[in-house]
Amino acid sequence: MSLCYRVILANPTPHRREMTIPQGVGLGRDEERTTTQEEVRVDVEPYSRIGVLFDTNGFQITDVCSIDDIRVEEIDDLETLNIEVNESSIRIIDDINACDLNGSKRTRDMFRNGGLSTYTGIQVDEGRRMGGVLLLSQLSYLRSQRDGQKVGLYSPTALNLRVCNSPDSIYHLVENGQLSLTSCVGSGFDSHGALQLSVQNNTSNSLRVRIPQGAMFEQAHWNGKQNLVVTNEEFIIVGPAQNQTFPLHASCANGSAQAPADDDMNVTPFIFNNLGNTFQDQASVWQSFDGEGGRTARL
């Protein structure tokens, strides 16, 4: 049984809105299905989305301040983790302890190779700068090191991630070939231009490209430097058959590692959910990803 459910609230307006999840909203599916037990009201910032978590009895989980607060269920060591399944799970790695996760090549390789065989539904294409498996493997590697956490590969939901299904998102436009990501470079943190993208419109029409708040960009290689998260939703228009370069404001996602420095990055299908004030500043981003004491984990 899944240990938590998420309801996504989106505010596409330029104004802060109070949004309501009524009592009786269905959660889960089939035999795991339950309903919300009480009305929940949430303030959602302009042009943003937020994930509201509920337990298996249908009550809101209000104590999730970071990835580490999300409860997980262990799955069989032969099972894969499909990114489209919204369950908070972990595939335990039995032959290693948290104290052994010291940034060594051996332990990195164990998580990277394990991620390739465990996570399904992700299109990995180095030439097209598309990824996601390395991001999940690295976030799992870091969570596994922190106090009170289990050692293993965590599902996207257990890492506070959701799959972006918006057809105008940069990931989906690259995935379906309408857009090419000709360059994707990370440099710096918590700044406009920490992420520099160059794109090519492969169509005869103008493309409206959406980069959602919380969009995750992973390091193309496990180099010990941080992944990046986009802090403000942005839109760009790329003319027919045109190439365009533009900067994005992004924050570093892993407080225990160095900031990117002209590093190649990959676009991923994942969005990091706002836990209330996640995108307020760099310190808030690190708190949401790393929790308390996360700066001691080695990437």
Q: Closest by alpha carbon to 166, among 4, 8, 6?
A: 8
> What pLDDT does 78 receive?
65
Bigger pLDDT: 84 vs 250: 250
Query: pLDDT band for position 31 (50/70/90)?
Result: low
Least confident of 127-131, 160-164, 173-177: 160-164
> What pLDDT does 54 receive?
85
> What pLDDT does 2 receive?
46
Query: pLDDT band for position 1 (50/70/90)?
Result: very low
Whether 138 shows a pLDDT value over 70: the answer reads yes
Bigger pLDDT: 227 vs 87: 227
Bigger pLDDT: 276 vs 52: 52
> What pLDDT does 3 receive?
63
Across 156-165, average pLDDT? 92
Query: pLDDT band for position 275 (50/70/90)?
Result: confident
Query: pLDDT band for position 65 (50/70/90)?
Result: confident
Whose tokens are 């990959």? That residue is 266
> What pLDDT does 258 receive?
94
Across 110-126, average pLDDT? 95
Across 231-249, average pLDDT? 96
- Looking at the chain, the whole-number percentage of residues with pLDDT higher than 90 is 64
For residues 266 and 47, what is the distance between their CA atoms, to the nearest angstrom?
A: 24
